[in-house]
């Protein structure tokens, strides 16, 4: 079976935890490493959270790299649950995993160059502010040829925002980085709130993580139970989205999603800083630069995530631990 080689660029974060665990459990995906950025919480906490997630997965073969501690230009903002900082040991067990000495931007650049030389470009799954990716593209322009695509969770069009009325958090946290990525010429897949709001997970689904997913599933149950993501007023029904996991699901089962080509960009100045637009009909006269995912099969996506987390409760995903 051909495996999709990816770098996960993330700012863990509860959603990120589900997405990372989904990827590490999936035989179709080869995770080269985690490139970590500040976003949901400060960098020291996102790195700690990433190491804890890798720890409960059992995938000690997957390296973690610390990256950018803040955005390129704008003042730093953190996520809705920034107060949580690093996951407590009660939520996610303490881990012996430590981050690599190399910087995340160096890791992205090196991996992309090696991929280009091998004629097998990599995919980057962007689940947080895209600062690390933008820095890699700016500082090392040759790396773009080693990136097959960037699958990004970010942006909001008809759904509007969830951090501000006009902006999705990942873009709002570093709009200048997002604009660099959108203009890089690398194929972009955009998973906006318009789509992620269509698939809502309830307490029953979280119980499935706990009951079927071993230590990893138990950690996800703890996280989603501790930080309620439901919003009946906005969604009109029970449940909340797990945004970031859609990037991994799209790689595994793209048939669960519907998409359209569009020209996508970001507002980088003024009151509407972080606003994303999508021109689906080329009214601006520019060629499309992105694939925008517009719809998701809710039941199919939910079942896929539960299935992959359940693997942690049966046969441990990936390479065996020493002595295992």
The structure's pTM equals: 0.95
**Domain spans, the chain:** 4-313
Binned at pLDDT 50, 70 and 90, residue 2 comes out as: confident
pLDDT number for residue 318: 53
pLDDT number for residue 233: 82
Set 162, 176, 205, 243: catalytic member? 243
Q: What are phi and psi of 98, to 5 degrees?
A: -125, 150
Residue 44 CB coordination number (10 Å): 13
Among 237, 8, 215, CA closest to 104: 8
Q: Taking residues 214-227, report their average pLDDT.
A: 95
Using one digit for the tens of pLDDT, what is the confidence trace for 150-177? 999 999 998 887 778 999 999 999 999 9
User: Distance (Å, rounded) from C-alpha 295 to C-alpha 159?
Assistant: 12
Residue 319: pLDDT over 70 = no
pLDDT number for residue 320: 40
Using one digit for the tens of pLDDT, what is the confidence trace for 68-83? 999 999 999 998 777 7
* Catalytic residue status for 205: no
Q: Which fold has domain 4-313?
A: Inosine-uridine Nucleoside N-ribohydrolase; Chain A (3.90.245)
């Amino acid at each position: 079976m051909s495996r999709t080689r990816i770098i996960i660029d993330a700012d863990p974060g509860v959603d990120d935890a589900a997405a990372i665990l989904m990827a590490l459990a999936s035989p179709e995906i080869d995770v080269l490493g985690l490139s970590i950025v500040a976003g949901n919480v400060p960098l020291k906490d996102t790195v700690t959270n990433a190491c804890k997630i890798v720890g409960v997965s059992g995938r000690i073969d997957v390296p973690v790299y610390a990256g950018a501690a803040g955005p390129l230009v704008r003042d730093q903002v953190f996520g809705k649950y920034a107060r949580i900082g690093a996951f407590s040991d009660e939520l996610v067990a303490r881990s012996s995993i430590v981050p690599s000495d190399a910087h995340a931007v160096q890791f992205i650049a090196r991996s992309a160059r090696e991929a280009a030389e091998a004629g097998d470009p990599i995919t980057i799954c962007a689940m947080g502010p895209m600062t690390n990716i933008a820095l890699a593209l700016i500082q090392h322009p040759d790396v773009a040829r080693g990136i097959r695509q960037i699958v990004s969770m970010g942006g909001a069009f008809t759904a509007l925002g969830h951090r501000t009325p006009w902006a999705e958090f990942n873009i709002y946290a570093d709009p200048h980085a997002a604009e660099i990525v959108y203009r890089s010429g690398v194929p972009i897949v955009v998973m906006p709130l318009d789509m992620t709001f269509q698939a809502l997970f309830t307490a029953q689904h979280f119980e499935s993580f706990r009951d079927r997913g071993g230590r990893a599933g138990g950690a996800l149950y703890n996280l989603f139970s501790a930080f309620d993501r439901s919003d009946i007023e906005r969604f009109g029904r029970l449940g909340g989205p797990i945004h970031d996991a859609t990037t991994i699901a799209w790689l595994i089962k793209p048939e669960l999603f519907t998409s359209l080509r569009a020209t996508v960009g970001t507002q980088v100045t003024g009151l509407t800083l972080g606003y994303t637009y999508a021109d689906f009909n080329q009214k601006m006269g520019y060629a499309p630069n992105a694939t925008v995912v517009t719809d998701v099969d809710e039941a199919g996506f939910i079942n896929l995530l539960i299935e992959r987390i359940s693997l942690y409760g049966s046969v441990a995903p990936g390479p065996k631990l020493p002595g295992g």
